[in-house]
Structure 1
Amino acid sequence: MANYRARTTGEALGYGSGERLLIIHADDFGLCHSVNQAVGELLDDGTVSGASIMMPCSWAKEAADWCAARKEVDVGVHLTFTSEWEPYRWGPVSHTEAAPSLLDPQNYFPRDCRTFELQADPAQVKAEARKQIEMALQLGLQPTHADNHMGSLYGLETGRHFLPVVFELCAEYGLPFRLPRFVTGDQGQAAPPELAEQARQLAAYAERMGVVILDYLVTLPFRKQEEETYESFRQSMKQLLAGIKPGVTELYIHPSYVTEELLAFHGSPEKRGWEKQIFREPDIRQTLVDEGIRVIGWRELQQLQRAGKA
């Protein structure tokens, strides 16, 4: 047993044990028109290989309509339970009377994950997540996966997570889910290393439920860092790509056009503009080639899940 090594999702997909597979993912599709324009362009030209829609947001229908006309794109549901910007808020797609534990005093979602984790009722979380998935289906989207806005479902702030109910829905709808099997504490890891054991336990639970998950999840800081420039951001992205491990990794970004619309509510708009451009840079594309990284989409994981071979 000492030599046992869990099979990676990459190996389950049929790739070799040393293959480095990367999903380049655009979060927050549907947040606003400026984001929709950027994400749509990046999906159209293959700069990113996946995206997910925030169904409670005002521009979700535009994003879903765009996807419904392009069945080939890999787009999932960005399960949303927080509403972080002060000037622009959103709440459940369920009737608020059916989801009181998901609301702040103004009947929006809470602005932070800690508040959500402490007050949310799991049954209401499950019902709202179902409503968001059903809304996507009703708008003509054929979702390839599910993930989570701000990590609110992972219990990162208080330890109180909601993943069992999410796994039940993902098994029911045939959706793989954004959860890393391995947490190492390396640069770019989206979860702290002290959660490594919990990640292993949750990965085993997902496997028992028949839900396909990632091997690794990485990103760079969401907000512009002190003294950060586009050039330093580009160098950080190169370093992040060089550290990609064998298996399936998702690297998620938040691209947008920087417009008056975005400036009206967003706390770090310039960084979103950088993230719209970064994977179009020739040296970043060349880094993927030089590192031998194969870019894939969520559809491969969904096909694996629906075939029951996870």
Structure 2
Amino acid sequence: MRLICLPILLFAAGAIYAQQPSIASRLGYPDNARLLIIHADDLGMAHSENQASIIGLENSPVNSASIMVPCPWFPEIAAYARSNKQADLGLHLTLNSEWKHYKWGPVSSRDAVASLLNKQGYFYATVDSTVQKAKPGEVELELRNQVKKAYEAGIDVTHLDAHMRAALSTPEFIAAYMRVGKEFGLPLLLPRRVLEYDHPEINALFDENTVLMDGIHTVVPEDYRKGPEKYYDSLMKNLPPGLHSLQIHLAYDNDEMQAITVDHPDWGASWRQADFDYFTSDAFRQLLEAEDIILVTYRELRDKISRAE
């Protein structure tokens, strides 16, 4: 029976999506609209990250961000979220601690999620190590507890996404991630390619409230070295119709960020300053207007799709 059910479930997952109106139409836009979320990652990681991201959210086209609950500067951004209920703030669900000297661990008790931790009691620095050693059940427990802690801190969580895409790195982790999102009625940063997985747990979680991204974009080291503005300009000019998320990182190139990102030039302090400079510029605002790109938020996706009855 199982060999028969798997393709049926996969077909059913795709069929559900094929039969649904487009995300654009469900949000009230034409089917051929180019919809974009400009999303700042890593809030809660550092004071510099929080402050630059807040400026971006309040004074630029950056319209969404996500918070790392286990990180040292979580209380500061949680306080901001409580005072700014309109802000589109989700959670950057965190399973890794990648910097050389700046570390964090789980919000769950360490004995309950021991497979997620290295010998020093921190999350692993690399996703590869997490994939090799983490138990899916413990991944799910930690993800759920991060959401619970955010709600306990008074954050009106609008969505979930995955730091370093660790929660998207195996089918079992994806299923855990999707279950947590469904439990709290939250849209996920989830690529359309998950429809291709022949995995019963994933397939069983699709329904009419599932949101899939047509494109998830971020500048990578090769493009950054050519000039990040070239990548971003090209992306805006060539963005196809559909729902897209652009993942960026805003912070200041100051002593704090330089110390945190030491020996880690990619996604480091100067990289984050470059993102801040680009996305808060008048030139970027003008480019968005010229390209007729429609900015949407996860709050819209949550309230009109993920929690639709």
* TM-score by shorter chain over 0.5: yes
Of 62, 82, 86, which aligns to 2:96? 82
Alignment partners' CA distance in 2, 1:250 and 1:180: 10
CA deviation digits over 1:177-226, x for unaligned, max 9? 001215xxxxxxxxxxxx88349999865532833232221111168844
Moved more, 163-172 or 248-257: 163-172
Q: What is the match of residue 278 of structure 2?
A: 278
Q: What is the match of residue 261 of structure 1?
A: 256
The unaligned stretches of length 5 or more in structure 1 are: 183-194
Q: What is the match of residue 210 of structure 2?
A: 211
Alignment partners' CA distance in 2, 1:46 and 1:198: 37
Q: What is the match of residue 18 of structure 1?
A: 32
2:193 matched to 1:179? no
Alignment partners' CA distance in 1, 2:286 and 2:189: 27
Moved more, 200-209 or 102-111: 200-209
> Number of aligned pairs?
288
Tell me by how many angstroms 1:169 deviates: 1.3
Alignment partners' CA distance in 2, 1:292 and 1:202: 39
Q: SS of 2:156's equivalent?
A: coil
Identify if the C-alpha distance between structure 1 residues 223 and 261 changes in structure 2 by more than 3 Å, giving closer, same or farther: farther
Alignment partners' CA distance in 1, 2:145 and 2:134: 16
Q: What is the match of residue 140 of structure 1?
A: 154
Tell me by how many angstroms 1:257 deviates: 1.0
Q: SS of 2:244's equivalent?
A: strand
CA deviation digits over 1:11-69, x for unaligned, max 9? 33232111001100000000000001001111122431100000000001101111110
Alignment partners' CA distance in 2, 1:173 and 1:285: 34
Q: What is the match of residue 243 of structure 2?
A: 248
Moved more, 126-135 or 204-213: 204-213
Alpha-carbon RMSD: 2.5
Task: Tell me the TM-score normalized by structure 1.
Answer: 0.86
2:179 matched to 1:168? yes
The share of aligned pairs that are identical, in percent, is 33
Asked if the contact 1:203–1:213 (Cα under 8 Å) also holds between the matched residues in 2, the reply is: no
Q: What is the match of residue 231 of structure 2?
A: 236
Alignment partners' CA distance in 2, 1:38 and 1:204: 39
Structure 1 segment 45-194 matched on structure 2, within 5 A: 45-155=59-169, 159-181=170-192
Asked if the contact 1:78–1:146 (Cα under 8 Å) also holds between the matched residues in 2, the reply is: yes
Alignment partners' CA distance in 1, 2:117 and 2:216: 29
Structure 1 segment 285-304 matched on structure 2, within 5 A: 285-304=285-304
Asked if the contact 1:181–1:200 (Cα under 8 Å) also holds between the matched residues in 2, the reply is: no
Q: SS of 2:246's equivalent?
A: strand
Asked if the contact 2:211–2:306 (Cα under 8 Å) also holds between the matched residues in 1, the reply is: no
Alignment partners' CA distance in 2, 1:152 and 1:279: 26
Q: What is the match of residue 6 of structure 2?
A: none
- Structure (1/2) with the larger helix percentage: 2
Asked if the contact 2:60–2:285 (Cα under 8 Å) also holds between the matched residues in 1, the reply is: no
Q: SS of 1:111's equivalent?
A: coil
Asked if the contact 2:171–2:199 (Cα under 8 Å) also holds between the matched residues in 1, the reply is: no
Task: Tell me the TM-score normalized by structure 2.
Answer: 0.86
CA deviation digits over 1:148-178, x for unaligned, max 9? 10000112xxx45411121111111111000
In the alignment, residue 62 of structure 1 is paired with which amino acid?
Answer: E
Q: SS of 2:155's equivalent?
A: coil
Alignment partners' CA distance in 1, 2:221 and 2:200: 28
In the alignment, residue 69 of structure 1 is paired with which amino acid?
Answer: S
Moved more, 146-155 or 282-291: 282-291
